[in-house]
Structure formats: C-alpha cells, structure tokens
Amino acid sequence: MKICIIGASGHYWSTLKAVQADPDASVIGVAPGAPGEEMENLVNHPHLGRTTLYDCYTAMLEKEKPDIVVVNSHFYLNGKIAANTVRRGIHTYTEKPMATTLDDLNDLRKAAQENPKVLLLAMQELRYGPAVIAAKQAIDSGVVGEIVQATAQKSYKIGNRPAFYRKQETYGGIIPWIGTHAIDWIHWYTGKRFISGYASQTRIGNRDHGEMESAATAVLALEGSIPATINLDFCRPVEAPTHGDDRIRIIGSKGVVEVKDNTATLITDTAGPVDLEIGPERNVFREIMDTVREKKSGLLLSTGESFYVSEVCLKLRTSAETGAIVDLR
C-alpha cells in the first residue's frame, strides 16, 4: 500500500506509526503543500523510513500514484488540496478542519459527492484516545441514562507557533483548529446534531502570536434542547506537566462520565467514582488502511461526520466574529 504525505504542519504521526508497523505499506513520497512549508520535522522523523521528497505535490501524485494521501499542510490550503486529491480518485486522510472557509468546504463536499468510491476522512483522531473510547462505550451501554448536558475542554501550551498560525487567513481560527475536537466529542458521544450556537473569543495573552486567538468559549444547543459548552485555550502555562489538558464531561439522567488525564471516570446512582477499564491503543491510520483494503476495521470516523463537524466549527467561528447566534440546523 502506497502512501504519500502532503505537508508537514499537522498530525502525520499516526500515519508514520501505522506504516512503520505494516510490512505491506510505505510512505513513498512527501511534498510540501504550501509555499515554503517547513518539511524538516517530517523528513527527519525516525518513523518515516525511506521516501522521496518532492518539491511539488501534484508531480508526486502523478508519479507515485498513491493508494492513500495524507494532507496536513498550512490549514488554509488543506481543503483545496484535499479537493484536488479526491478528484484524482485518491483516498484522502486530511487535517481538521477539512477547510477553513465554507466555500472551500463546499467545494470539497462536491468533490466527494462526485467521487463516491473515494474514502475521505478528517483527522478527528482524538476519538481514538483509549479513555475517550472507554467513555464512549460507557455512554453507549446506557449506564449514564439519557444525556442531559455535555461539556468539553481543549487547552494547550502555545509555545512558539509557525508564522501561518499568526494570520487568521492562513490559520483559520481557534474554533476550527482545536474546537473541532471538542465539537466532535460532543457530537459523537451524544449522537445528536447541533441546533444553535453562540461563541466568544479573545486574543488577550496570545504571547505575540499576531491574530491567533488565545481562548474561546461556546454554548451549543443540541437536538432535544440538550445544553453543551466548549472552552478552548492556548494559555496552558509553560510549567504545566503536560502539553495539553483535554477534558470531557457527559451528564446523564443516571450517571456522569468524565475524561481527563487519559482516564475515564464514571459515577452513577449505584456506584461511586470508578475509573473505566481502558482498552489497548488503537491507531486510526491502521484502521484506515484496513478499510481501504476492504478488511474489517472498526474505523471510528466517517466522511459525513467529518464534514459536519468542520461545518459546525466554521459557523461557530462566525458567531464569535459577529456576536450573533448561528443556526446550525
């Protein structure tokens, strides 16, 4: 199985790990997706194996004819690149958000509709955290009852981000970039669609990152008027013990499940706090390769949800920019 990677500005790690572990797969080519894109981290990555570095990704695709392409360039280009690769009939695993504008997202959707045999997925791979999966299984088992409220947090250290993060046009905003995960968890856990949303964001304390927002919050009403919130920030202090501080809390009519520090904890009416049993690590790209091979894969992502979550995030960003409620129906 031949894999190509376009760009090195996102989450190519699960791909490298899965390919390295698979004797029948290799990353045969890599190429930048954006002018001047920094490729060093990928090219020098110890898990990469032997590959060819191309200057131009279209030349690479024509030469290598990959089975799957991984797209993770500067965020504003990912939608356009993915539309290109899908139209070439190549299975595409692309960075989230799938696009940073609704126009690009709609064009990508059109490309996908025109090529229904192409597998197209966004990197909502934070579904694959073992504690995240354990919580999902608990919710699906009915142990928390009917869902009443959902909250999710994404918090990161900002560090020193590349220049393209510092311009809204090339970055896309905090809600599409990290809010996608929070929105995706809530959608996936509840199985419900969003009705309306209202978001607020700021650049205070962004540590000289230009237009990049430091924090955002949003309220979402889900089908059945279930209230949800997300809170996002890039203010995790330098000395915090980990890079990120993801949290999810799902309240049900009979119990509450929370994910934090790679642990899923359940409290119910019949038992006090208990840490849920965590399954083995699963690799999303391994399951994507199996899906392409038409093997049973158990893949947790879907094309429809990939589009849906990106669309909700782009609309929520509009809410934060305009101060108006967005209709998400």
Per CB under 8 A, residues contacting a copy of itself are 145-149, 151, 153, 155, 196, 198-202, 204-205, 207, 214-221, 224-229, 231, 233, 235-241, 249, 251-256, 267-273, 323-325
What is the closest distance, in whole angstroms, from the C-beta atom of residue 256 to a copy of itself in the complex? 6
Q: 106 vs 168, which CB is nearer to a copy of itself?
A: 168
Q: What are phi and psi of 110, to 5 degrees?
A: -65, -45
Nearer residue to a copy of itself within complex by CB, 62 or 140:
140
Q: Are 45 and 70 in contact (CB under 8 A)?
A: no
CB-wise, 43 or 324, nearer to a copy of itself? 324
Closest separation in Å from C-beta 180 to a copy of itself = 17
Q: Smallest gap, in angstroms, from Cβ of residue 217 to a copy of itself?
A: 4
271/268 Cα distance (integer angstroms) = 5
Q: Minimum distance between the CB of residue 253 and a copy of itself, rounded to whole angstroms?
A: 3
Closer by beta carbon to a copy of itself, 44 or else 141: 141
> Are 98 and 275 spatial neighbours (Cβ–Cβ below 8 Å)?
no
- Nearest approach in angstroms of CB 226 to a copy of itself is 6
Output 48 or 199, the one with its CB closest to a copy of itself: 199
State the minimum distance, in angstroms, from the CB of residue 251 to a copy of itself. 5
**Interatomic CA distance for residues 228 and 239, integer angstroms:** 30
- In the complex, the smallest distance separating the C-beta of residue 51 from a copy of itself, rounded to whole angstroms, is 38
C-beta closer to a copy of itself: residue 35 or 241: 241
In angstroms, give the least distance from the CB of 129 to a copy of itself: 21
Task: Give 139-205 as a DSSP string.
Answer: HHTTTT-SEEEEEEEEEB---S--GGGGSHHHH--HIIIIIHHHHHHHHHHH---EEEEEEEEE-TT
CA nearest neighbour of 300 among 5, 14, 2, 7: 14
User: What's the Cα-to-Cα distance from 258 to each of 93, 126, 250, 261, rounded to whole Å?
Assistant: 29, 15, 6, 10
CB closer to a copy of itself, 40 vs 239: 239
DSSP strand pairing (26-31 vs 52-53) = parallel
- Structure token digits, residue 262: 């790679």
Q: How far apart are CA 199 and CA 217, in angstroms?
A: 6
Q: Which of 313, 319, 10 is nearest to 174 (CA)?
A: 313
- Provide CB contacts within 8 A for 142, sequence distance 6+: none
* 133/326 with CB nearer a copy of itself: 326
| Residue placing its CB nearer to a copy of itself in the complex, 11 or 207 | 207
Question: Please, what is the minimum distance in Å from the beta carbon of residue 273 to a copy of itself?
Answer: 7
For residues 33 and 39, give the distance between their C-alpha atoms in angstroms, rounded to a whole number: 10
What distance in Å separates the CA atoms of residue 227 and residue 149, rounded to the nearest whole number?
5
